[in-house]
């Protein structure tokens, strides 16, 4: 795929050229949206919105990493979706305590009293990680999804998130610490090499 | 250990530290157990995220022209017809406005010439000319036939109504230029002799109705053609897109 040529054609209004880029990047864009939003349907909508917005604004792309530029578009679409959700709040997944306050800890998912269906769902490592990701502040989540899940380098993440490099480093460090803390609640789900207690005992 | 150390460890994991900072941190990691534990935590978190399975997109997100609001390509003649229609319509309304306004403007200025009630030298001259009118009234046909030049016909301007008919009878004797001038002079004389009744000549429109009708036809036809061209282009485009 000759990416620069396709971008140039798309900038001249060639929709077929742009669609070739869409096919190349659609899995990545969908995965980023999925990890940020945590819902398949919302992620698909955000991905579609991101590609529409990207085509309409493709003339604002002035070179550099097209992947980072596209990630910025999908990040914006996700922020829009999250803002929409804030305006139309839904019932939170987190259970209330006896005082009616939300529980801070995500450990409730590992509760042995969960139904078999919920337990089966909780057994999946992917769900546990996704749950911990969703517990992160959005700005941290965006950075960690870009850097650790999609493997973008710091500069690309800085472009996608529109923040300085120093902020990226700081957010990434905090996000990783918080994730590790959250994942302690799912120790039994983690592969042996990632179990802290076992590593320490060894 | 503070957050700065955590930041350093995180950057170290990603190979973002310069060699000297890396060497210094590696030395500390050998002796500082707490630091080593934290880097293990960070590495574990990063490793778990990296091994998350990548999902396939549930569908293709390719775009259609409809989704991005791409308009159908219109034929090259379309803007020509659209412009012709707009221009003809504009001309039509302007011409109509002229026709509408002209008689009113003429009638608004008529009292000055016709009745001479206003002051000023121009008005007194008109009044003087009007006093000569009875002479012309007595022998209108003779007065016109004897007019050899345009200037003399102007002097006879306040001629009575009957003069409007006579010019058609005198082309053999009067010069062409004189005949052209006679008509307006006759017009200006009308109000005086007929005592306020509107003459036929004033009702004549400055822009001919043939011209107006032509403009209207051009405007409507051009608009119709432009509309049909657009409709046909959109239908073809939709068949191609769907």
Q: Name chain B contacts of A17, Cβ cutoff 8 Å.
A: none
pLDDT tens by residue, A116-145 = 655 554 456 788 888 899 999 999 999 999
- Secondary structure (3-state) at B230: helix
Q: Mark yes or no for CB contact B48/A183 under 8 Å.
A: yes
Which bin fits A100, alpha (ψ -120 to 50), beta or left (φ > 0)? left
Give start and end residues of each alpha helix (H) in chain A: 3-11, 15-37, 40-56, 66-87, 116-123, 125-135, 138-144, 154-161, 165-183, 196-201
pLDDT tens by residue, B140-168 = 444 444 444 444 444 444 444 444 444 44
What are chain A's domains?
A: 1-89 (1.10.1740.10), 112-202 (1.10.10.10)
Interface of A with B in 118-177 (CB under 8 A): 125-126, 129, 144, 147-149, 151, 154, 169-170, 172-174, 176-177
Q: Mark yes or no for CB contact B44/A180 under 8 Å.
A: yes
State the pLDDT at residue B147. Answer: 43
Contact A97, A173 (CB under 8 A): no
Q: Does the pLDDT of residue B103 top 80, yes or no?
A: no
Check whether residue B46 and residue B99 sit in a common domain: no
**Min Cα separation A99/chain B (Å):** 33
Q: Is residue B27 part of a domain?
A: yes
Q: Closest CB to B10: pick one of A27, A172, A183.
A: A172
Q: Mark yes or no for CB contact A125/B58 under 8 Å.
A: no
Distance CA B201, CA B190 (A): 9
Kindly state the tokens that stand for B76: 């090259």
Domain that holds residue B41: 3-50
- Give the predicted TM-score (pTM) of the model: 0.58
Q: Name chain A contacts of B16, Cβ cutoff 8 Å.
A: 154, 169
Q: Is residue B57 part of a domain?
A: no
Check whether residue B85 and residue B199 sit in a common domain: yes
State the pLDDT at residue A120. Answer: 57
**Min Cα separation A186/chain B (Å):** 12
Check whether residue B137 and residue B173 sit in a common domain: yes
- Residue B74 has a CB neighbour count (10 Å cut-off) of 16
State the pLDDT at residue A115. Answer: 54
B81: which residues sit within 8 A by CB, 6+ positions away?
A: B222, B223, B225, B226, B229
Q: Mark yes or no for CB contact A129/B63 under 8 Å.
A: no
Helix (H) / strand (E) element for B133: namely: helix B133-138
Q: Is residue B240 part of a domain?
A: no
Check whether residue B37 and residue B139 sit in a common domain: no
State the pLDDT at residue A13. Answer: 86
| Domain total of chain B | 2
Check whether residue B44 and residue B83 sit in a common domain: no
Check whether residue B46 and residue B84 sit in a common domain: no
State the pLDDT at residue B87. Answer: 94
Kindly state the tokens that stand for B206: 């400055």
Length of chain B: 242
Q: Is residue B234 part of a domain?
A: no
Q: Quickly state the pLDDT bin for B11 (edges 50, 70, 90).
A: very high
Distance CA A148, CA A182 (A): 16
Percent of chain B with pLDDT over 90: 23
Check whether residue B90 and residue B127 sit in a common domain: yes
Q: Does A5 touch chain B (CB under 8 A)?
A: no
């Amino acid at each position: 795929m000759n990416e620069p040529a396709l971008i140039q054609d798309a900038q001249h209004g060639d929709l077929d050229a742009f669609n070739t880029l869409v096919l190349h990047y659609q899995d990545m864009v969908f995965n980023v949206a999925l990890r940020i939003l945590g819902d398949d349907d919302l992620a698909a909508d955000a991905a579609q919105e991101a590609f529409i917005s990207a085509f309409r604004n493709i003339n604002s792309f002035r070179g550099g990493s097209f992947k980072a530029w596209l990630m910025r578009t999908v990040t914006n679409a996700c922020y829009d979706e999250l803002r929409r959700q804030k305006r139309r709040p839904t019932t939170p997944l987190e259970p209330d305590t006896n005082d009616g306050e939300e529980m801070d800890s995500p450990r409730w998912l590992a509760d042995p009293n969960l139904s078999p269906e919920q337990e089966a769902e909780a057994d999946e490592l992917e769900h546990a990680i996704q749950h911990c990701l969703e517990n992160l502040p959005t700005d941290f989540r965006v950075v960690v999804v870009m850097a650790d899940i999609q493997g973008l380098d710091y500069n690309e993440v800085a472009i996608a998130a529109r923040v300085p490099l120093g902020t990226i480093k700081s957010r990434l460090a905090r996000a990783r610490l918080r994730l590790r803390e959250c994942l302690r609640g799912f120790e039994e789900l983690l592969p042996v090499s990632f179990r802290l207690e076992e590593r320490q005992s060894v | 250990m503070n957050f700065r150390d955590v930041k350093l460890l995180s950057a170290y994991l990603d190979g973002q530290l310069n060699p000297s900072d890396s060497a210094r941190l590696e030395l500390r990691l050998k002796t500082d157990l707490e630091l080593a534990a934290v880097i293990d935590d960070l590495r574990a978190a990063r490793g778990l995220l990296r091994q998350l399975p990548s999902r396939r997109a549930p569908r293709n997100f390719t775009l259609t022209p409809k989704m991005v609001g791409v308009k159908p390509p219109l034929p090259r003649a379309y803007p020509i017809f659209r412009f012709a229609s707009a221009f003809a319509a504009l001309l039509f309304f302007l011409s109509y406005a002229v026709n509408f306004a002209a008689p009113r403007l003429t009638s608004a200025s008529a009292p000055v010439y016709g009745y001479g009630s206003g002051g000023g030298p121009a008005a007194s001259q008109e009044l003087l000319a009007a006093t000569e009118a009875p002479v012309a009234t007595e022998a209108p046909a003779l007065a016109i036939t004897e007019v050899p030049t345009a200037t003399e016909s102007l002097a006879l301007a306040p001629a009575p109504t009957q003069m409007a008919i006579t010019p058609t009878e005198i082309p053999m004797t009067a010069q062409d230029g004189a005949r052209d001038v006679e008509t307006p002079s006759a017009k200006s004389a009308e109000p005086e002799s007929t005592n306020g009744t509107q003459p036929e000549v004033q009702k004549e429109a400055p822009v001919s109705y043939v011209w107006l009708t032509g403009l209207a036809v051009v405007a409507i036809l051009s608009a119709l053609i432009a509309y049909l061209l657009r409709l046909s282009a959109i239908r073809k485009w939709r068949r191609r897109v769907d």
